[in-house]
Amino acid sequence: MDESMDENGDPGRTRKRPRREDGFRKGSLKRIRVGNFMTYKKVELVARPHLNIILGPNGTGKSSLVCALCLGLAGKPKLLGRADNVKDFVLRGEQEGYTEVTISGGGEERDRVVRRDLHSKDNTSTWKIDGRPSTMQEVEKLKDKMNIQLDNLCQFLPQDRVVEFARLTPTELLFETEKAIGNSKLCDLHRQLIEKGSTCSQQRQCVATIEKELAKANQAQEQTEREVKRFEHRESLLKTVEVAKAKLQWAEVRVVEERLKTSKQKLKAAKQAVKTALDQEKKAKMCIAPLTKEREKCKRETTIVKQNCCRLTSAIERQAQQASNQVENLKSQAADLKNIELESREYHKKIKATEESLRKAQASLDSLGQAPPEHHKKMQDLRMFINDCNTEARGYRRDMDNIETERSQARRALNAIQDKLKRLKDVKLQRIRNLEGRRHGFRGLLQAYEWLQQNQNKFRSRVYGPICAEVAVADKQNAAYLEGNVALQIWTCFVTTNRDDSHMLRSMLTQEGIMRGANVLCYEGDPGAPLRNSSHTTAIPQFGITHTLDEGFEAPNVVKQALNIESGISNVLIGTRKTEGCMEELLKQHRNVTRVCTPGEIVSVKFSKYGGGVRSTASRATPEPSFLGSSSSGGDEQESLLRSLRTAEQTIARLDGQHAEHERHYREAQQKLNEATKEREVLSKQEHGRNAKRKKLQEKVKMQERSLKKLCEKPDPKEEEPERQQALKDCMERFLRETRKGMGKLMDWRPEYEKLTSVSLHSTECSAQLAKKMDSFKDFELEVQKHQRIHDQIVHIVHSDERELRKAKEEADRDYPMTNELQAKFADVPDNNEELEEFIDNKQAEADGIICANSSVVDQYMATRKAIDKYEKQLRSESLKLQDLEAMINTLKGEWLPELRKVVEKINVTFGRNFAKIGCVGEVRLAEEDSHGDHFDKYAVEIMVKFRDQEDLTPLDASRQSGGERSVSTMLYLISLQNVTETPFRVVDEINQGMDSNNERKVFDQLVESASLPGTPQCFLITPKLLPNLSYSENVTTHTLFNGPSVKSIVGTPASGLLEKLCGSRIRQRLA
């Protein structure tokens, strides 16, 4: 291998060995050249046609050559299991790099040179084939033409996919083996068989479904035939019933016709009876008119006489009432004159009683004195005390109002702080939603977070998380560093401080159906202990280092400890642009530094497990923060808000205490005020009572004085006696005058009364005669009404019979139209209505006894017949398709399975022989139709191994065999493919890791032996070490890599001499 390095002591071009151009198969590799690719400035690998061993310590760039081969032949970056973009393979600090692969034409064609230029600026590539501009599609066509299969793990097994090869299922291993054989015939046939087998299974299911439906239809048809016979018999019975019903209905029409004829005859007789009654009524009415006129004349005369009598009677009553009033007046005047002495005595008695009451009231008033002096003094003291209490209470009230104002302000401030914290919490929810959308496995994270907030009390200690919600980053730059150094899955983890809480959290989230397989970290150290930095930033300030990653954000101590355990944040140094310029010097002086972050890049340092601590560095651009950046400025603000929240709560608590104290003093002052007010009210009531009593007595004295004065102003009743005698005489004269007037009115009333009696007697006689005639008229009138009602009833009956007849005829015509055919059928049924009804009941019962589940049984019968014909046609068509498919499968299977068996048998023979050489037993079996039949997707290659005598032959499995045993089995299987494969070359990267020295030596001997056989494909074995004193042949070429800052001291003749000593003159070696 040739390599050009920079001026730091790297080797120049190394000595080349002469090459033979013969022996290269078509599609094998002759040369690999790279420039500015991963760890290389420029290097060239000249391959040999058989076994090429690429040897070098970890970190020297062995896998970089594998990456160059893959990318140079249009392989996808994901095949390497490393970076996703081609720009990440360009040497750090360079704008572009290239790979150039020379592919042998095998002597049949000319060699082809494929070059790929990688551009890191825009992540693009340009292609050339033999120096001519080309495209990736043309390179892929060339690769297919040369039978190069980079996606086949049996041909191309890079280091980062070794584990993936070990995890291949037997089914997947069969596909990889078919592709590794070289021609795509077996693989294509297998895919066609899988496709046709699946189609055939579906077709069989389709045919089975049609057969099942056809059998059901035939069974249903048999049942339907019996139903049709019962249905026809039942229909015959029902038709007979219908004929009988028709005859019965037309018989009812005839009955209605007869009833209508009878009703019309009755109507004619009723009309004649009404006419006779009307004639008699008319004669009676003619006799009533004269008597009615005479009676009316008597009524008028009686009314006039009654009015005169009433008028005279009213006048007489008025005179009598006036006379009665004069009598009462006389009695009153006589009584007053008789009682005048008694009234005089009462008059003098009232004056004495009033004078006595006046004297007593004046005495009571005089006896009611003024209030005592001490009463006024006590009232004055109480007034001053109440004023003092009011002043004190108002002071406390004013202080309480001031405190309440301060408390309201503090509460408003507290609410504002809580609102801000809530908004910060909303930012946490945004982060969680952002992460939920990243991967399917993160679904339910937000629901788990909300559930945890509501159920913290169920755990022994506080549970933190997810971590993305617990972190407050100072700025976007630190957010970018944090995201770039902590794996995405870590941000979804919850953190507990004891194992019980961890198990409980996982279990409850699963039971609630919120999140399965939640990521939970348990930190069992001191929860309050701060994180201690293992890197001291103060010791390297000259390189621009400002702090470590854990100092760039805020989080609970437990969360920081968990992040440090998972991602080593305390070991990540944060630098500036200055750091980027002196990165090499920093890493050289401080070999314990593993990661450095600057605004432009993130540099990682890895130490080789081999080669005495050789280390390699990798860098990538500092990414933009994707979910922490939205809250990067919220860390200090949240801490400040939390402090402000605690201060506000303390202030409110202090003000609550002050308010309660002032309120207690206020209540005490108010209580004293109330007691003094009550005492003052008692004294005031006493004073008011005394004043009210005095006022009442004064009013009483004045009232008695007025009463006495009024009594004294009245004269003595004895002085009025002459006046009363004269009044009695005048009243007697008025009574006599009114009596004489009443007697004159009575004399005028008598003739009128006699006249009224005569007129009344004549009127009574006329009324009696008229009543007799009226009774006779009413009898005739009632007779007319009786016959009219009978007539109306008969008319109603006639109309009803007409309507019923019309309706019966319409129904009969509608239900059973009279035809000659129907008339003829009437002869087959009874004539009597009762016999008809019995006949209908019997036939209907017989028809009802015939059970027919479906009235449309005939239609169903015909539909089922059509369905049977359709199913039979489909069955013939689908069966033919199935036969064609089975014939095609048998043809394909005849081409594929025997050839596959031969290939597997060859592999089995070689595999068993190779295993026997290392003292073990191994077989390769084809799991085929005995267990899987036409399920071609389940055919598999099973690797059976036995490493110990006491064990049985068991399938190769990660749970049974160790890593070294799986590596031996995998390598021997790849060697066994040499005899059957048509691939031009094979690449195996570090497959010997984990083997013990004995197995590694045996496997290497077999690899050399197989490489020496004629017709075997070219092989590249990449390994960091080789055992001493291995067996080599002329077909083995060793390429030793010396790359790195310390290569200058070991490169050259001493190293070459060491290699000659180790390997002998049989090795074709090229030193780089």
Per-domain boundaries in the chain: 2-167+984-1071, 475-632
- Comparing CA positions, the residue from 137, 136, 114 lying closest to residue 125 is 136
**CA 925/CA 904 separation, integer angstroms:** 7
Contact 313, 752 (CB under 8 A): no
Question: In this structure, what token pair is assigned to residue 581?
Answer: 């310029």
Which three-class secondary structure state does DSSP give residue 494? strand
Q: Residue 735 forms beta bridges with which residues?
A: none
Please give the structure tokens belonging to residue 849: 């006894």
Burial class (CB in 10 A: 0-12, 13-18, 19+), 266: middle
Q: How far is Cα 967 from Cα 162, in angstroms, rounded to an integer? A: 9
Structure tokens at 188: 């294509």
**Cα–Cα nearest to 991, from 427, 49, 156:** 156
Q: Are 690 and 358 in contact (CB under 8 A)?
A: no
User: Do you know the residue count of the chain?
Assistant: 1072
Continuous segment of H or E residues that includes residue 169: none
pLDDT computed for residue 18 by the predictor: 39
Contact 167, 966 (CB under 8 A): no
In order, the DSSP letters of 144-186 are: HHTT--TT-TTTEE-GGGHHHHHT--HHHHHHHHHHHTSSSHH
pLDDT mean values, one per 10 residues, the chain (1072 residues): 39 38 79 90 89 84 85 82 80 90 87 92 89 90 84 66 68 80 77 86 88 85 73 74 77 80 83 81 76 77 78 75 74 70 74 78 70 72 84 86 88 83 73 83 87 91 91 86 89 93 91 87 86 62 86 90 90 88 83 86 76 66 78 56 85 88 87 84 78 77 77 67 70 73 71 72 76 77 82 85 82 79 76 76 75 66 82 88 88 86 86 85 79 74 85 79 78 76 78 70 79 79 81 84 58 44 39 35
Q: Which residues of 618-643 are buried (b: 16+ CB within 10 A; e: fewer)?
A: ebeebeebebbbbbbebbeebeebee
How many CB atoms are closer than 10 A to CB 712? Answer: 10
pLDDT of residue 495: 95
What pLDDT score does 634 carry?
A: 46
In the numeric block, the tokens 């003829």 are attached to 824
Q: Using alpha carbons, list the distances in angstroms from residue 419 to 412, 415, 456, 470, 653.
A: 10, 6, 22, 18, 20
The token pair at 756 is 């009224």
At which residue do the structure tokens 């509608």 appear? 814
Q: What is the pLDDT of residue 1025?
A: 81
Superfamily of chain region 2-167+984-1071:
P-loop containing nucleotide triphosphate hydrolases (3.40.50.300)
What does the CA dihedral 490, 491, 494, 495 come to, rounded to 10 degrees? 70
* Whole-angstrom distance, CA of residue 63 vs CA of residue 68: 9
Contact in structure between 143 and 137 (CB atoms under 8 Å): no
